[in-house]
Amino acid sequence: MSKSALVIIAQGSEEMETVITVDMLRRAGVSVTMAGLDGNSPVLCSRQVTLVPDKSLADALAEKPQYDAVILPGGLEGSDRLSKSDVVGTLLKEHEGSGKIIAAICAAPTAFVAHGVGKGKKITSYPTTKDKITSDYTYIEGERVVIDGNFVTSRGPGTAYWFGLSLIELLTDKEKAAQVEKGMIITGY
Amino acid sequence: MSKSALVIIAQGSEEMETVITVDMLRRAGVSVTMAGLDGNSPVLCSRQVTLVPDKSLADALAEKPQYDAVILPGGLEGSDRLSKSDVVGTLLKEHEGSGKIIAAICAAPTAFVAHGVGKGKKITSYPTTKDKITSDYTYIEGERVVIDGNFVTSRGPGTAYWFGLSLIELLTDKEKAAQVEKGMIITGY
């Protein structure tokens, strides 16, 4: 059975980080649900691209309480909304407890701080959000993607290809990641 | 006044190529219209992400017959629909005649062949579509982006960052492209 991933979007989420991640994981055969934090209505993202969620977060969790990965895209406003959501907080804590993959890119690792998950982990984030990552975490610079146990973090829209490849490798295997990398022509152009 | 770009999407367009390009150009201050080939209804893309166009292509052209750039995202089915559209053909010929930028990524350069624009130009495309590019063009491999006069082409989802940067440089300047590259953390992570 294919692995499952839940990508949660909110008003102001970064659209390319969202779409690159969803698209790449689907290329790898992962069953991805793009869920709207506030319902299943179209979501206006950070650069005015409107994405239609597959379903609301409430419905996504009603159908399946645990996913193999929970993934938070960045965008300052979107990350702020994810940080303030009790539903997201509960979900992250449950997934942390069961050792499932928890991933965030750009400004979204600030939601880990807000919800108190991943303490003690090495993480990275968008450079200007560094001061929001408390000393409960070890902050890493100079890497596109940081993996520490089941926590995966990345820096910004321009590192999203490698965030996607890391998630594919963790959810499937190296061969599948290499196949998607080749198919997308990230290298070998 | 800011430069304008028209990105045309159709059912089966490649969503990350579309969104990366739109998002990056907006980061650079370009006025981007994401237009739906068949209307303003949500468009189901190649990996089941649904994008909401800003408006229909018909409305986009009624409001503004010429844009500083016309951009075609890839995706096999999406490119095929762009190739078969008389409206797209007329638009590309008009923009070619006025020397405006015409750009396509992945499978979308096949629409140039279908509509007979850009003959004599150096172009690239998604590797498996190479055999559809006739001898009217000079096919280039080994480059992420090929620029020949006002024609800009690129290879696939994994070269979309650089397709976006090339378009930003052509529509604005090198400094703006460098600023977007840095802000996205394509380099300097």
Return all residues near B157 (Cβ < 8 A) that are at least 6 apart: A23, A184, A185, B14, B16, B17, B20, B74, B106
Residue-wise DSSP of B134-149: -TTSEE--S-SEEEET
| B67-119 pLDDT tens trace | 999 999 999 999 999 999 999 999 999 999 999 999 999 999 999 999 999 99
Count of H-run helices and E-run strands, chain A: 7, 11
Name the closest residue on chain A to residue B140, using Cα atoms: A189
Is the CB of A96 inside 8 Å of chain B's CB atoms? no
B45 is catalytic: no
Name the closest residue on chain B to residue A125, using Cα atoms: B189
Is the backbone of residue B71 left (phi > 0), alpha (psi -120 to 50) or beta?
beta
Given the residues B25, B35, B88, B106, select the one marked as catalytic.
Answer: B106
Q: What per-residue confidence (pLDDT) applies to B1?
A: 79
CB B3 within 8 A of CB B69: yes
Interface probe, candidates A24, A49, A144, chain B, greatest B C-beta count within 10 A:
A49
Report, as an integer, the average pLDDT of A127-155.
98
Q: Residue B147 falls within a domain, yes or no?
A: yes
Report, as an integer, the average pLDDT of B136-161.
98
Q: Residue A111 falls within a domain, yes or no?
A: yes
Residue-wise DSSP of chain B: ---EEEEEE-TT--HHHHHHHHHHHHHTT-EEEEEETT-SS-EE-TTS-EEE-SEEHHHHHHH-S--SEEEE---HHHHHHHHT-HHHHHHHHHHHHTT-EEEEETTTTHHHHHHT-STT-EE---GGGGGGS-TTSEE--S-SEEEETTEEEE-SGGGHHHHHHHHHHHHS-HHHHHHHHHHHTSS--
- Minimal CA–CA distance to B123: which of B98, B96, B152, B94? B152
Is the backbone of residue B116 left (phi > 0), alpha (psi -120 to 50) or beta?
left
| B2-55 pLDDT tens trace | 999 999 999 999 999 999 999 999 999 999 999 999 999 999 999 999 999 999
> Count of domains in chain A?
1
**Burial category of A99 from C-beta neighbours within 10 Å (exposed 0-12, middle 13-18, buried 19 and up):** exposed
Q: Residue A138 falls within a domain, yes or no?
A: yes
Kindly report the pTM of this predicted structure.
Answer: 0.98
Given the residues A60, A106, A152, A167, select the one marked as catalytic.
Answer: A106
Is the CB of A41 inside 8 Å of chain B's CB atoms? no
Q: How far is A27 from chain B (nearest CA, A)?
A: 8
Name the closest residue on chain B to residue A25, using Cα atoms: B47
Question: Does A94 have pLDDT greater than 90?
Answer: yes
Q: Residue B124 falls within a domain, yes or no?
A: yes
Q: Residue A189 falls within a domain, yes or no?
A: no
Q: Residue B189 falls within a domain, yes or no?
A: no
Domain, as residue range, for A120 = 4-184
Is the CB of B127 inside 8 Å of chain A's CB atoms? yes
- Selecting from A52, A159, A181 the residue whose C-beta is nearest the C-beta of B189 gives A159
Domain holding B42: CATH number? Answer: 3.40.50.880
Which residues in chain B have Cβ-Cβ distances shorter than 8 Å to A34? 49
CB neighbourhood size of B89 (10 A) = 17
Q: Residue B114 falls within a domain, yes or no?
A: yes
Is the CB of B30 inside 8 Å of chain A's CB atoms? no
- Selecting from B23, B52, B142 the residue whose C-beta is nearest the C-beta of A16 gives B23
The DSSP bridge partners found for residue B50 are A52, B44
- Selecting from B19, B23, B159 the residue whose C-beta is nearest the C-beta of A185 gives B159
- The two tokens of residue B112 are 């140039």
Q: Residue A157 falls within a domain, yes or no?
A: yes
Indicate the pLDDT class of residue B59, thresholds 50, 70 and 90.
very high
Q: How far is A158 from chain B (nearest CA, A)?
A: 4
